[in-house]
Amino acid sequence: MPIMDSSTGEVVRRFSLPELKDKAQEMRAWAMTAICAANSGHPGGSLSIMDVAAALYLEHLRHDPRHPDWPERDRVFWSAGHKAPALYVSLGMAGYFDERPVTLFGQPVPGLEDLRGIEQVVLLRRLGSGFEGHPNRLRLPGIELSSGSLGQGLGAAVGSALAGRLAGKDYHVYCIMGDGEQQEGSIWEAVMAAAHHRLENLIGIVDRNHLQIDGCTDEVMRVEPLADKYRAFGWNVLEIDGHDMQAILTALRQATEHEGGPTVILAETVKGCGVSYTAGVCGYHGVAPKDGICGPESLETALADLGMTEVISPGRRARLWAALERYQQAVDDYVAARLPRFSRDYWWNRDSRMAVNMDATRNGFGRAIAELGSDEHYAALGSDITESIRMDCFYRPDGRTSHPDRRRRFFSMGIAEANATSVAAGLAKEGFVPFIGSYGVFITGRNWDQLRTTVAYNQLNVKIADAHGGVSVGPDGATHQALEEIFLVTALPHFTMVVPCDALETEKATRAIAEITGPAVVRYAREATPVVTRPETPFVLGQANVIRFRGEAESFAEAFETIPASEYPGENEDLAIIACGPMVPEAMRAAWILKEEQGLETRVVNLHTVAPLDVAAVASAAADTGVVLTAEEHQVGGLGNLVAAVLCEANLDRVVRFRRIGVPHTFGESGQPWELIKYFGLTGEHLAQAALEMVGSR
């Protein structure tokens, strides 16, 4: 059933086979345009699924883009949320955005009235645009499920199919999955449930492009024989060429006609299909065209490869880029309006006084794990995100490694974080020291019960690389911005957890957690942040440092002195900011602002270890100053609640004014890393303003 008018039941638009093939190419062109405009996103898996997507949204599905919530519509669950560009161009091509104004967090943006329909996809990953890095069903019409954490969509599709049957509706539920995604155990729980409940209204579609992030699926974690596996679970299996439009349409029809149980369509595809430099190239999983607009690996090359240089002509592109600039200007103004102002600009590297080196904390982890790997006791487990989290410094799964001897101690676990955790526990039980790692959400949240029972309860020596913590992950958006790990990990007995303040401290912290016996986590981030410590800066697990502003110097870091909290006598400061992670440099900037603007003295406490907590450092900061602010790039309260508990129980003989700064109990957003830091109020300026409000009302 094609695109319909739900009020009359009439077909609105049909596409012939040649038209569909052409539209699929055009949709690829739009996806590449959007990814190039965003300078990030996932071309590989978006291009491979595009023929299936065109067949679904333009011809096969029963749906009405003017009434996205039509109860009788077919449902499509994009379990592989990173294929968002393919979803957005499908919706755009089907007409979902024809009447939709461009908005910034729901407010129309003036001057963009002409940006309608599929052209809106150039707003991919822009703050507040709705076109988030991974689909958000509350922000755009036509999205059934917000997704991005792999392996969850099929279960939701099972629920939707059960509900359809319960309500006596005849809609079908489709679920688009990756082949690497098949490694998640939760997929197979859903596969079992669908067969058990004989859900003939459920159709799984696997984009069988044979590649994932760390390499080809066969090497990362073999999923074959996939067809036999689905059959063995009781599914009807259709194997097709996922780029043969006729075959796709036929398979979709056969799947909807099948009776007695669910069907899976295994669509054999080429990752990055249609573009010369992305086709079959693993490195184009999640990056924009490397040469930008023009050059060998550029948007222009992609459009030429796809035969779409006339549809998305240079003139049209120029108009789109101008619209994009207007949108970004609106974002910049929106964000700037949220940043507190002082007598001068204190931003990083604005002038020599604020000069800092920037380095991502993940690089510090990489340097430490590279070194630790020389010891035969250490092992590393890959979760298909090895390079991005710098676990590849231990061993590169693609074999281009400077440590071939470590191959024996690197175990690729596939996209299966819960199992990786249990496997690590087993290795630890036998005397090895395994590191597991992924985006923080997946390696402290998805596997939390494994961490609790198999790791913590057994007191096993498993080390966790809690990567991509915080909103500074940027354009990937909320599903990939871990904001809850301090809650999750500090709830568990026996765990040590460190949230180091910069790349250098991350290096030290990683070595430190490796050296202790027992489960431990180091949380670090993706984006480059200021390096404010030196090799000689003290770092002892569980012992906070006090950082004091001493006056302008050659560089930002040199303007501060760091003293172990246990040795700090106190200097009668006006307030204390207790921070962890990259909020420590922001707290230092706040201390500078407060001194220069108001003559206030601030004790910055770098509480890098959140478990076990340096209770004495927290209590004395409160007792000495009477004004405590906590700062974390985390859901507010992760660190703040731990500090609050100390203050409540410390029997301080004075009233303490207390406030917590963090992400205000909401999910993250797509946007540029520093844009998000400002948007969520996590800057030195915001801390200084909060401090002034507190001190002022003392």
| Residues binding ligand TPP (CB under 6 A) | 44-45, 48, 80, 82, 148-151, 178-181, 207, 209, 211-213, 271, 285, 384-385, 415, 438, 442, 446
Contact 169, 71 (CB under 8 A): yes
Residue 360 C-beta: closest distance to ligand TPP, Å = 18
User: Closest CB to ligand TPP among 411 and 539?
Assistant: 411
CA distance 100 to 113: 9
CA distance 378 to 394: 9
Residue 509 C-beta: closest distance to ligand TPP, Å = 24
User: Closest CB to ligand TPP among 187 and 557?
Assistant: 187
Residue 352 C-beta: closest distance to ligand TPP, Å = 40
Instruction: Tell me if residue 328 falls in helix, strand or coil.
Output: helix
Residue 444 C-beta: closest distance to ligand TPP, Å = 12
User: Closest CB to ligand TPP among 179 and 633?
Assistant: 179
List the end-to-end C-alpha distance of the chain, in Å, as a whole number: 68
> If you count DSSP H runs as helices and E runs as strands, how many of each does the chain have, helices first?
22, 24
Pairing of strands 10-13, 3-5: antiparallel
Full DSSP string of 20-79: HHHHHHHHHHHHHHHHHHHT-S-HHHHHHTHHHHHHIIIIIS-B-TTSTT-TTS-EEEES
CA distance 548 to 624: 14
Residue 204 C-beta: closest distance to ligand TPP, Å = 13
Residue 448 C-beta: closest distance to ligand TPP, Å = 13
Distances, alpha carbon 228 to alpha carbons 223, 239, 266, 506, in Å: 10, 11, 11, 45
Residue 38 C-beta: closest distance to ligand TPP, Å = 16
Contact 332, 302 (CB under 8 A): no
User: Closest CB to ligand TPP among 26 and 384?
Assistant: 384
**What contacts 304, CB < 8 A, 6 or more positions away?**
none
Residue 615 C-beta: closest distance to ligand TPP, Å = 35
User: Closest CB to ligand TPP among 41 and 684?
Assistant: 41
Residue 433 C-beta: closest distance to ligand TPP, Å = 23
Residue 344 C-beta: closest distance to ligand TPP, Å = 42
User: Closest CB to ligand TPP among 360 and 579?
Assistant: 360
Closest CA to 460 of 486, 432, 441: 432
Closest CA to 26 of 18, 123, 126: 18
User: Closest CB to ligand TPP among 118 and 385?
Assistant: 385
Residue 480 C-beta: closest distance to ligand TPP, Å = 7
**What contacts 679, CB < 8 A, 6 or more positions away?**
127, 335, 338, 669, 671
Residue 202 C-beta: closest distance to ligand TPP, Å = 19
User: Closest CB to ligand TPP among 282 and 652?
Assistant: 282
Phi, psi of 222 (to 5 degrees): -60, 130
User: Closest CB to ligand TPP among 365 and 674?
Assistant: 365
Residue 148 C-beta: closest distance to ligand TPP, Å = 6
Distances, alpha carbon 58 to alpha carbons 9, 21, 55, 118, 384, in Å: 16, 11, 6, 13, 33
User: Closest CB to ligand TPP among 266 and 576?
Assistant: 266
CA distance 243 to 221: 25
User: Closest CB to ligand TPP among 200 and 669?
Assistant: 669
User: Closest CB to ligand TPP among 241 and 359?
Assistant: 241
User: Closest CB to ligand TPP among 22 and 398?
Assistant: 398
Characterize 123-162 residue by residue with b for buried, 16 or more Cβ atoms within 10 angstroms of its Cβ, and e for exposed.
Answer: bbbbbbbbbbbbbbeebbbbbbbbbbbbbbbbbbbbebbb
User: Closest CB to ligand TPP among 96 and 442?
Assistant: 442
Distances, alpha carbon 439 to alpha carbons 45, 57, 149, 442, 522, in Å: 19, 32, 10, 6, 12
Contact 380, 394 (CB under 8 A): yes
CA distance 49 to 87: 10
Contact 438, 96 (CB under 8 A): no
Residue 667 C-beta: closest distance to ligand TPP, Å = 15
Point out the residue whose Cβ comes nearest to ligand TPP.
178
Helix ranges restricted to H, 537-637: 583-598, 615-625
CA distance 222 to 239: 18
Contact 195, 261 (CB under 8 A): yes
Residue 190 C-beta: closest distance to ligand TPP, Å = 14
Would you state the structure tokens that stand for residue 239, as one six-digit string?
Answer: 């194997």
Letter for the amino acid at 621?
Answer: A
Residue 371 C-beta: closest distance to ligand TPP, Å = 26
User: Closest CB to ligand TPP among 104 and 211?
Assistant: 211
User: Closest CB to ligand TPP among 285 and 523?
Assistant: 285
CA distance 85 to 20: 18
Contact 243, 413 (CB under 8 A): no
User: Closest CB to ligand TPP among 152 and 160?
Assistant: 152
Letter for the amino acid at 518?
Answer: G
Residue 153 C-beta: closest distance to ligand TPP, Å = 11
Would you state the structure tokens that stand for residue 200, as one six-digit string?
Answer: 């003939």
